[in-house]
Structure 1
């Protein structure tokens, strides 16, 4: 890979064979180098192919303003999310995380901390992403010597969630409210307290997140696991209470989002409701 323009010791611009511009970042990757010289590619952390002038300016400004250490930290967080948890993320997450972490560390040094008003929802509805956020706090403390509060784990999780949602960060609050409302319908309709730490509830929440994506953006439907045995139990056991609860949800979704659940949607919703309620011991007797 040849240098076309040096930005600083840790960044340079090059071009692909088809003349696409790439911004390359790596610790000391351009140190002592000159234009048209080859670089040691093992030093490269990340390459960006900006799709707009705005993206290009943002990346270049960050390279000038933010120490390379934070680019490396952000990459390790993104790599962990993608490798360990199979979360597919956009490049915009890397940029946003780098900027956020650098700002959070600067604020912490001044004893200024932000409160995350969604911390409970993130911990409850996005446990996988929140666990990555907690891991990130340990990494940041190791690398920067600055401890950050759990609120920051929530903010890091939000950036990861944003990447999963295709950078539609506004969707985060909408999805959270959607999950909260449907959960409250189940708890009220069936007069139960749901174990929000249970695997079945986690599957229910995951199903709702996928369903939201499909409902709002016509993405490909995704189901969680093999539900064939559960379908048979619904048919044989006549889980009327759960089915009636699913009908309440269908009505709510139609009235609120003008979306009609298909029979398949209704069946899957019923199955998940059965799963999260049948072991509580307080579900109403079914007809």
Structure 2
């Protein structure tokens, strides 16, 4: 790749062999270099390419504000999430993590407490992501020499959840978490019980809702050619269908869309399984 502009001692704006603009990051990477110099890609610790709707200069300025050590630590955290959760390690995961780590360290140094209003919901709905977040805190401590508060694992878990659905920012992940928590509350209220959110069927219910969010986001809701199965679900589980209709309202409000009849029927089936499991363990 060829350097277009030196941003600072650790970063350069460059162009690769196919003409893509990118930002290359690495300790001392820009020192003594000038526009037009060739740069071996292996010399960079990380290389970032602007997304389709992202201005390259804006990306460069954004990365320039994040300490190199935080970018490298974020890369390690992303790799950990790839191993533990099967996430694809991409700049869409690394950059938000780096920004969060940088800000979390700054907050801690200034004694500003962080607020994590969905901590309980995250612990119930995303135990694997939260466990990975806690493991990541140890990695950050070893890499940066900074011991972040334990509840920062909640924020890291939310980044991992968000990355599974490739949505920018954490707003959608937080919204999804809130809606799922409300869905459990609807089931509890409708059937007069308290669902064990650590149970296998509760985990399946959460997984179904998460992938429902993903299907809606990609415009690929379930829509069966034959309505026989859907009719059978409706006839077999009328109470679950009523409960699913209440959850449908929450989802449609949160997602700003309409669910197909098939999606609601399959949601009712998962509600029925959840309730049956809870009834058996009373």
**Normalization by structure 2: what TM-score?**
0.79
Q: Hey, what's the Cα distance between the residues in 2 that align with 1:125 and 1:194?
A: 13
Number of corresponding residues? 273
The answer to whether the 8 A contact 1:192-1:282 is kept is: no
Q: Hey, what's the Cα distance between the residues in 2 that align with 1:70 and 1:254?
A: 38
**Alignment deviations for residues 62-120 of structure 1 (CA, whole Å, 9 cap, x no partner):** 32x43211110111222333444233576344323212211211332343331211211
The equivalent residue for 1:266 is: 264
Structure 1's 211 and 53: CA in aligned 2 closer, same or farther, altered over 3 A?
Answer: closer
Structure 1's 74 and 279: CA in aligned 2 closer, same or farther, altered over 3 A?
Answer: same
C-alpha displacement of 1:46: 2.2
Q: Hey, what's the Cα distance between the residues in 1 that align with 2:76 and 2:168?
A: 19
Structure 1 SS opposite 2:151? helix
Structure 2 SS opposite 1:174? helix
Compute the RMSD of aligned alpha carbons: 3.5
Q: Hey, what's the Cα distance between the residues in 1 that align with 2:252 and 2:171?
A: 21
1:41 aligns with 2:41: yes
Structure 1 SS opposite 2:189? helix
Moved more, 181-190 or 120-129: 120-129
Which of residues 275, 280, 283 in structure 1 aligns to 2:278? Answer: 280
1:95 aligns with 2:95: yes
Structure 1's 252 and 135: CA in aligned 2 closer, same or farther, altered over 3 A?
Answer: closer
Structure 1 residue ranges, 4+ long, deviating more than 6 angstroms after superposition: 254-258
The equivalent residue for 1:27 is: 27
The equivalent residue for 1:180 is: 181
The equivalent residue for 1:106 is: 106
Query: How does 1:143-158 map onto structure 2 within 5 Å?
Result: 143-158=143-158
Gaps of 5+ in 1: 223-230
The answer to whether the 8 A contact 1:190-1:283 is kept is: no
